[in-house]
């Protein structure tokens, strides 16, 4: 609750800073807002406080809130150092980010379907706006409009599903729905099945899983690169947390109804994401397809639906968020410098900026799931969640996909180390350097000491 | 009698909804959509006794939102864009997809057991009246109500950021390459 | 008022308006000329096409109007129940209005409510 209030208040303050020429106070206000929100979220660890029967700050919610707050923190710093003087909408962008985080908090902590809908809408609306920030760029306009239209369509499905479940069970509360499903063995009841599937379609759209992924490449490419990074991390992780929460807390008694659907979606998503990524020239587009395929891996954990699912999804989200932040940060810096997002901009990066090339390599290793990084253990936990329930075939397919992905993840890394290019040094602000180094170190550290991170929740 | 009135209103609603899709002129589509919303409001008011929701539907949907639709159509400069020719394959696949969704929904819901829980039934009786709505909204659903205001705020900032004309070329994203 | 009288009323309304149009069609001898087809039969002749591209500014106004339209609608049920619920309802609506008022202030200060 405190988290919501702080984020909203910080957002309003940042918004007014733009009106009263207070550019310089925006960053301190927003960063202290983020830290205060994180502090108050962690304060509620293990308390399971419920607010107004609409949201509950359990450990699952707190963990995902903190992951998203961290990603937003990185985004804000990068945005500040890259665009402080070059964006008229500087303060508004930051305030929209803060409001969207309020939406994220609602999305990961809801106990009532109404809150799920509101949270998703706040986050999506913010992302639609952010995607269209480059007002004079046709690609950015296209990205924003496409995302809005498709997103509104998906929201329609989501609402339809919620309405059907309400009609069948008479309640918006997840616990009531789970109780009803358990009591009535309602798996075959048409309203319930249709409602669950509609809800699933709406949420799968938001996490960009195939066959609802068509918007992703265009939107990710057209949106400003930092915004793409924000979408691919916070947007995706929060939507996935919402998906897990709905299905784990609300629908688990009807598991057999949807388990196979999730398996099919996971396999399609992995193959479509990975195989299409092989053919991309633009790094942004490649990362877009890679983010689609990662939704597929995470769906495997959700499909297994056992006691390790939540932990595996959390671990995967952390690993994926760290690696994606690094990747998008490097691409954004390079794009700002050279104006292009082709693989060729990486040529000679190891000479012009050793730090950027090494952190990018770490990010790619982690995304591909190579051992000394966090990505390896993320995949390991997801696969072991699936295997412990006997889903061997899907694990084999996922491992094949991991091998495919190595090819395209390494193309820019090879370009930065093997190919000759512009060797003029790239100057980075010190905080950006520190930030990149810290995230890369975290990725390695989590990979070396996975420890009990996956048993947190 | 109530049933036949329902069938009448439902028939008119679906008729107008189909007209929205099939009319060639987008302005006509919007006007048919207004009529559809009116019919849905009639359903709320006469069938469900939900007067307030019905009125809100008329004011917000048939009134304000449809005006927004008209503005969007006017902004698009439809003179310049001739209607795109869509291939027959596209039309067929769209029809098949939509038809399949309809088929699945009808098949799933045709023998649905429409019994409502006791508590829900009691609430259902007067759910549309403004008083019951007020009680539910301001006591049971107070947190969603407050969160909705954040949603409005984001929408407002977005409208100003994207819609307001500014002559500055400074935006996020790549610097213009010289 | 029962549903049966509703149907009678609907039929009567349709018959009444359709009847008027039909009678006019038969009784009036129509003449056609260009002046009659114009949007304004007198005054400045209309120029260009009505399908012109409108300024995005209209949309901005409409959107801000819509948000406050919805906000006002929340006030109706509030006004009905505020006496019986008491202070909690009052505090809720104050927070709600405050957040939206911040948005209004922002839009106003940004000059979004000025024409262009």
pLDDT score recorded for residue B101: 85
Residue B85 banded pLDDT, cuts 50, 70, 90: low
* Residue owning tokens 């009125």: B55
Specify whether the backbone of B143 is left (phi greater than 0), alpha (psi in -120 to 50) or beta.
alpha
pLDDT score recorded for residue A68: 96
Q: How far is CA A365 from the centre of its chain?
A: 18
pLDDT score recorded for residue A5: 94
Give chain C positions within 8 Å (CB) of B151: none
Residue B176 banded pLDDT, cuts 50, 70, 90: very low
CB pairs under 8 A between B and C: 147
Which helix (H) or strand (E) segment holds residue A49: the answer is strand A49-51
| B80–A contact, CB cutoff 8 A | no
Please give the CATH architecture assigned to the domain spanning B1-79. Answer: Up-down Bundle (1.20)
- Domain span including residue A268: 2-455
pLDDT score recorded for residue A7: 95
Q: In this predicted model, what pLDDT tens digit does every residue of B52-73 receive, in sequence order? A: 888 899 999 888 888 888 888 8
**Chains touching A, CB cut-off 8 Å, 3+ pairs:** B, C
Residue B27 banded pLDDT, cuts 50, 70, 90: confident
pLDDT score recorded for residue B177: 38
Q: Is the pLDDT of residue A186 over 60?
A: no
Contact predicate A162/A250, CB 8 Å: no
Residue A257 banded pLDDT, cuts 50, 70, 90: confident
| ipTM exceeding cut-off 0.90 for this assembly | yes
Between chains, do C80 and B145 touch, taking CB under 8 Å as contact?
A: no
Q: In this predicted model, what pLDDT tens digit does every residue of B122-137 receive, in sequence order? A: 555 566 678 888 888 8
Share the mean pLDDT of chain A.
90
Give the Cα separation of A39 and B35 in Å (integer). 52
CB pairs under 8 A between A and C: 14
Residue A346 banded pLDDT, cuts 50, 70, 90: confident
Residue A186 to residues A167, A402, B113, B150: CA-CA distances in angstroms?
Answer: 13, 38, 11, 36
pLDDT score recorded for residue B46: 80
Of the listed ranges B168-172, C44-48, C100-104, the one predicted with least confidence:
B168-172
Contact predicate A14/A26, CB 8 Å: yes
SS (H, E, C) chain C: CCHHHHHHHHHHHHHHHHHHHHHHHHHCCCCCCHHHHCCCCCCCCCCCCCCCCCCHHHHHHHHHHHHHHHHHHHHHHHHHHHHHHCHHHHHHHHHHHHHHHHHHHHHHHCCCCCCC
Q: Is the pLDDT of residue B174 over 60?
A: no
pLDDT score recorded for residue A188: 64
Residue B118 banded pLDDT, cuts 50, 70, 90: very low
pLDDT: is B119 or C45 the higher one? C45
Q: Is the pLDDT of residue A258 over 90?
A: no
Domain boundaries, chain B: 1-79, 122-165
When pLDDT is averaged across residues A145-173 and rounded to a whole number, the result is 91
Domains of chain C: 3-109 (1.20.58.1610)
Contact predicate A55/B141, CB 8 Å: no
Between chains, do C106 and A16 touch, taking CB under 8 Å as contact?
A: yes
User: How is A203-231 classified by DSSP, letter by letter?
Assistant: HHHHTT-TTS-THHHHHHHHS-HHHHHHI
What letter does residue A88 receive in the DSSP assignment?
Answer: T
Q: In this predicted model, what pLDDT tens digit does every residue of A386-399 receive, in sequence order? A: 998 888 999 999 99
**Burial, C20: exposed, middle or buried (Cβ in 10 Å; 0-12, 13-18, 19+)?**
exposed
Contact predicate A446/A453, CB 8 Å: yes
Between chains, do A93 and B155 touch, taking CB under 8 Å as contact?
A: no
Between chains, do C99 and B153 touch, taking CB under 8 Å as contact?
A: yes
pLDDT score recorded for residue A365: 94
Closest chain C C-alpha to B102 CA, distance in angstroms: 30
Between chains, do B163 and C3 touch, taking CB under 8 Å as contact?
A: no
Tokens of B57: 């539907």
Between chains, do A88 and B166 touch, taking CB under 8 Å as contact?
A: yes
pLDDT score recorded for residue B6: 84
Between chains, do C109 and A12 touch, taking CB under 8 Å as contact?
A: no
Residue A185 banded pLDDT, cuts 50, 70, 90: low
Q: In this predicted model, what pLDDT tens digit does every residue of A218-251 receive, in sequence order? A: 999 999 999 999 999 999 999 999 999 999 998 9
Give chain B positions within 8 Å (CB) of C84: 135
% residues pLDDT > 70 (chain C): 91
pLDDT score recorded for residue B121: 45
Give chain B positions within 8 Å (CB) of A88: 166, 168, 170-171
Between chains, do B172 and A89 touch, taking CB under 8 Å as contact?
A: yes
Residue B175 banded pLDDT, cuts 50, 70, 90: very low
Q: In this predicted model, what pLDDT tens digit does every residue of A262-280 receive, in sequence order? A: 999 999 999 999 999 999 9
When pLDDT is averaged across residues A2-21 and rounded to a whole number, the result is 91
Beta bridge partners of A50: A56
In this structure, the number of other CB atoms found within 10 A of the CB of residue C47 comes to 6
- For residue C54, the chain B residue with the least C-alpha distance is B75
pLDDT score recorded for residue B114: 60
Q: In this predicted model, what pLDDT tens digit does every residue of B87-107 receive, in sequence order? A: 888 889 988 998 998 888 888
pLDDT score recorded for residue B167: 63
Q: Select from B150, B151, B174 the Cβ nearest to the Cβ of A336.
A: B174
Domain count, chain A: 1
Q: Is the dihedral of CA A35, A37, A40, A42 positive or negative?
A: negative
- For residue B64, the chain C residue with the least C-alpha distance is C66
Whether the link from the prior residue into C102 is cis, omega within 30° of 0, is no
Q: Is the pLDDT of residue B116 over 70?
A: no
Residue C100 banded pLDDT, cuts 50, 70, 90: very high
Contact predicate A382/A311, CB 8 Å: no
Closest chain C C-alpha to A79 CA, distance in angstroms: 22
pLDDT score recorded for residue B77: 64
Between chains, do C99 and A16 touch, taking CB under 8 Å as contact?
A: no
Residue A377 to residues A433, B132, B139, C43: CA-CA distances in angstroms?
Answer: 26, 52, 46, 78
């Amino acid at each position: 609750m405190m988290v919501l209030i702080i984020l909203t208040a910080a957002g309003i303050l940042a918004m007014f800073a733009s009106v009263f020429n207070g550019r310089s106070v925006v960053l301190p206000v927003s960063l202290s807002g983020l830290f205060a929100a994180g502090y108050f979220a962690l304060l509620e660890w293990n308390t399971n406080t419920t607010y107004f029967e609409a949201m509950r700050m359990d450990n699952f919610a707190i963990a995902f809130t903190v992951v998203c707050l961290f990603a937003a923190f990185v985004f804000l710093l990068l945005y500040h150092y890259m665009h402080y003087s070059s964006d008229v909408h500087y303060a508004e962008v930051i305030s929209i980010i803060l409001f969207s985080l309020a939406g994220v908090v609602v999305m990961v902590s809801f106990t009532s379907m109404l809150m799920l809908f509101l949270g998703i809408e706040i986050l999506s609306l913010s992302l639609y706006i952010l995607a269209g920030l480059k007002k004079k760029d046709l690609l950015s306009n296209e990205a924003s409009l496409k995302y809005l239209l498709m997103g509104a369509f998906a929201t329609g499905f989501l609402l339809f599903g919620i309405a059907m479940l309400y009609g069948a069970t008479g309640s918006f509360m997840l616990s009531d729905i789970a109780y009803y499903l358990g009591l009535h063995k309602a798996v075959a009841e048409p309203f319930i099945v249709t409602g669950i599937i509609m809800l699933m379609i709406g949420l799968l759209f938001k996490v960009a899983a195939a066959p609802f992924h068509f918007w992703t490449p265009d939107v990710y490419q057209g949106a400003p690169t930092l915004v793409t990074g924000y979408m691919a991390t916070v947007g995706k992780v929060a939507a996935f947390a919402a998906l897990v929460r709905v299905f784990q807390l609300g629908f688990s008694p009807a598991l057999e109804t949807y388990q196979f659907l999730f398996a099919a979606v996971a396999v399609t998503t992995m193959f479509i994401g990975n195989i299409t990524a092989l053919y991309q020239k633009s790094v942004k587009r490649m990362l877009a397809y890679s983010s689609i395929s990662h939704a597929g891996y995470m769906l495997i954990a959700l499909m297994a639906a056992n006691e390790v699912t939540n932990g595996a999804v959390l671990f995967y989200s952390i690993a994926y968020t760290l690696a994606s932040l690094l990747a998008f940060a490097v691409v954004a810096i390079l794009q700002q410098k050279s104006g292009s997002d082709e693989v060729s901009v990486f040529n000679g990066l190891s000479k012009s900026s050793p730090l950027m090339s090494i952190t990018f390599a770490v990010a790619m290793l982690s995304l591909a799931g190579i051992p000394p990084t966090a990505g390896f253990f993320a995949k390991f936990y997801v696969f072991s969640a699936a295997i412990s329930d006997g889903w061997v075939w899907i694990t084999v397919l996922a491992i094949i996909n991991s091998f495919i992905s190595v090819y395209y993840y390494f193309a820019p890394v090879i370009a930065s180390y093997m190919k000759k290019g512009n060797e003029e040094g790239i100057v980075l602000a010190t905080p950006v350097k520190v930030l990149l180094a810290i995230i890369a170190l975290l990725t390695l550290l989590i990979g070396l000491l996975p420890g009990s991170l996956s048993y947190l929740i | 009698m109530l049933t036949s009135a329902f069938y009448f209103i439902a028939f008119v609603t679906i008729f107008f909804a189909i007209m929205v899709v099939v009319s060639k002129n987008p302005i006509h589509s919007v006007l048919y959509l207004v009529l559809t919303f009116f019919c849905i409001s009639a359903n709320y008011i006469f069938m469900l006794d939900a007067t307030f929701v019905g009125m809100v539907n008329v004011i917000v949907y048939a009134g304000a939102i449809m005006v927004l639709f008209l503005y969007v159509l006017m902004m698009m400069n439809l003179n310049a864009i001739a209607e795109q020719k869509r291939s027959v394959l596209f039309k067929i696949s769209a029809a098949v997809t939509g038809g399949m969704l309809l088929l699945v929904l009808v098949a799933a819901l045709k023998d649905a057991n429409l019994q409502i829980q006791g508590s829900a039934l009691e609430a259902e009786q007067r759910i549309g009246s403004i008083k019951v709505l007020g009680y539910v909204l301001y006591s049971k659903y107070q947190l969603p109500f407050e969160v909705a205001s954040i949603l409005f705020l984001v929408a407002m900032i977005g409208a100003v950021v994207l819609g307001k004309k500014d002559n500055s070329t400074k935006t996020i994203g790549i610097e213009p390459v010289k | 008022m029962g549903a049966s009288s509703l149907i009678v009323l609907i039929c009567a309304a349709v018959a009444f308006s359709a009847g008027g149009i039909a009678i006019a069609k038969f009784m009036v001898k129509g003449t056609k000329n260009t002046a009659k087809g114009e949007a304004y039969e007198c005054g400045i002749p209309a120029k260009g096409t009505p399908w012109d591209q409108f300024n995005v500014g209209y949309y901005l106004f409409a959107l801000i109007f819509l948000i406050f339209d919805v906000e006002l609608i929340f006030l109706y049920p509030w006004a009905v129940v505020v006496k019986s619920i008491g202070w909690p309802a009052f505090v809720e609506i104050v927070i709600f209005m405050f957040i939206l008022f911040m948005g209004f202030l922002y839009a106003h200060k940004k000059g979004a409510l000025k024409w262009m």
